[in-house]
Structure 1
Amino acid sequence: MAALGNNTLEVFDLRTNRWVQSIRGLYHPQGVLYVPESQKLFVANAEGGQVVIYDGESLKRVSAVEGLNDADNVRLDAAARQVYVGYGDGALAVLDAGDGKRLGNIKLDGHPESFQLEKSGPRVFVNVPSARHIAVVDRKRKEVVARWPLGGDEANFPMAFDEANSRLFVACRKPPVILVIDTKSGKTTARVDSPGDADDLCYDAAGRSLYISGGEGFISVVNQRGPDQYGAFNKIPSAAGARTSFWAPDLHRLYLAVPHRAEQKPEERVYGTEP
């Protein structure tokens, strides 16, 4: 877990729910990605312009990729053995998943927030809030091939993907809504009420559910009845400002980072679902 305020990376054992150690010496860490094949850990830093690479076994620093100011979200293209990093005023950097060598750069119209890679094709779907659209990137051509406007909706930060049904989920903050988008046409096929200040959105394919964490103090759960049919969201109390979450499908668990605020202590909360 990236602890941005502490400039550390906190390591937990997900099976035992125990804290393991802190990795120090980072500068506003944000995106974190582990690459199983190369056993490398990539950590994007919002300050300092670095993506730092660690050995996944020893957790020792191996190298760093420079020149990536405001590095944020990180994703893996496992088939191509490449890592994508959103950074700066508007770009995706492409890195080798083994040694971190910089392989390319894809220009965008603004700073990228959450993005998702499709496995069945070459596309990347990228939230670009400042441009009020979703950029569609072709990974082979290394360029934007389409832009899907949001219409009257704004502040599209979190994103999740149901590739089996060709549905992209985009949470907007203004107004608070989840857009369900057909990735074959780019058209919005459904709108679902969302909590305010949403920052992470997870899709549980097995449970056919969406989990949304927002800063208002609760987690929202939305049941998927069909590709374009969704139930009203249910609220699960959490904590004020706890909007960063991670879904572990193999464990059927949602992990929520709770920040320190007044009497509220920082902690990692674990929520279980029925398999």
Structure 2
Amino acid sequence: MPAHPEGFHYDAATGRLYVNVPDHRQIDVLDRKTGQRVAAWSPPEMRSNFPMALDAAAERVAIGYRNPARLTELSTADGAVTGSIPTCGDTDDIFFDAVRSRYYVSRGEGAVDVIDRTPEGLVHHDRIRTVSGARTSLFVPELDRLFVAARAGWFGGDATILVFRPTP
């Protein structure tokens, strides 16, 4: 890697690994078999790419940029931007819900953005309040739940896991 990697996802069907490399303002695409980089994508004017989500079935990878604050979808075939929508500057995690064709974007300022992928493009569906600093999250499709970690000191003491059940 040319610099410190951040978010990454592996597509088992293609054998490709998608890796955010924010210090180089790019997404590296690696071939698992050869270990070689096969592509490097750098959407113009986008910086601080940290979280990432993969929708292998739709051949899309979503990148959370902090500057400008956007969720941007790229084609896994060639890195072309297929959609983009504003979000917050403290995006930490992104997950794709294949059942609902939706992204969950956890925001350090105390919210989760719910963004739907529609035939017309990416659409802001909802913003769910959490607490400031609760940015680490995990979506578990098998449980149909989004878990968001709130650090100690919130809610009067110990660290807490907030549990959200997506709705249609």
Structure 2 CA distance for aligned equivalents of residues 211 and 264 of structure 1 = 26
Check if 1:246 corresponds to 2:145.
no
User: Given the superposition, is the C-alpha separation of residues 262 and 182 from structure 1 closer, same or farther in structure 2, using an over 3 Å criterion?
Assistant: closer
Equivalent position of 1:45 in the other structure: none
Runs of 4 or more, structure 1, over 6 Å off, are none
The answer as to whether partners of 1:252 and 1:274 remain within 8 angstroms in 2 is no
Give the RMSD, CA atoms, in angstroms. Answer: 1.5
Structure 2 CA distance for aligned equivalents of residues 196 and 252 of structure 1 = 27
Name structure 1 gaps, 5 residues minimum: 1-107
Looking at CA atoms only, which structure, 1 or 2, has the larger radius of gyration? 1
Q: How far apart are residue 233 of structure 1 and its match? A: 4.6
User: Given the superposition, is the C-alpha separation of residues 270 and 148 from structure 1 closer, same or farther in structure 2, using an over 3 Å criterion?
Assistant: same
User: Given the superposition, is the C-alpha separation of residues 238 and 124 from structure 1 closer, same or farther in structure 2, using an over 3 Å criterion?
Assistant: same
Letter in 1 for 2:8: F
2:22 to 119, 129, 142: 129
Higher relative contact order (CA 8 A, sep 6+): 2
The answer as to whether partners of 1:241 and 1:259 remain within 8 angstroms in 2 is yes
Structure 2 CA distance for aligned equivalents of residues 175 and 260 of structure 1 = 30
User: Given the superposition, is the C-alpha separation of residues 195 and 264 from structure 1 closer, same or farther in structure 2, using an over 3 Å criterion?
Assistant: farther
User: Given the superposition, is the C-alpha separation of residues 239 and 120 from structure 1 closer, same or farther in structure 2, using an over 3 Å criterion?
Assistant: same
1:223 to 112, 116, 126: 116
Structure 2 CA distance for aligned equivalents of residues 136 and 263 of structure 1 = 41
Amino-acid identity (%): 34
Check if 1:159 corresponds to 2:49.
no
Equivalent position of 2:126 in the other structure: 234
Structure 2 CA distance for aligned equivalents of residues 131 and 178 of structure 1 = 18
CA deviations 1:127-149 (Å, max 9, x no partner) are 00000000010100011111101
Name structure 2 gaps, 5 residues minimum: none
Q: How far apart are residue 151 of structure 1 and its match? A: 1.6
Q: How far apart are residue 196 of structure 1 and its match? A: 2.4
Equivalent position of 1:211 in the other structure: 104
Aligned residues: 167
Q: How far apart are residue 185 of structure 1 and its match? A: 1.5
CA deviations 1:1-32 (Å, max 9, x no partner) are xxxxxxxxxxxxxxxxxxxxxxxxxxxxxxxx
Equivalent position of 1:199 in the other structure: 92
Letter in 2 for 1:194: T
CA deviations 1:154-180 (Å, max 9, x no partner) are 110000011111011000001110111
Q: How far apart are residue 264 of structure 1 and its match? A: 4.9
Query: If the length of structure 1 is used for normalisation, what is the TM-score?
Result: 0.58
Q: How far apart are residue 187 of structure 1 and its match? A: 0.8
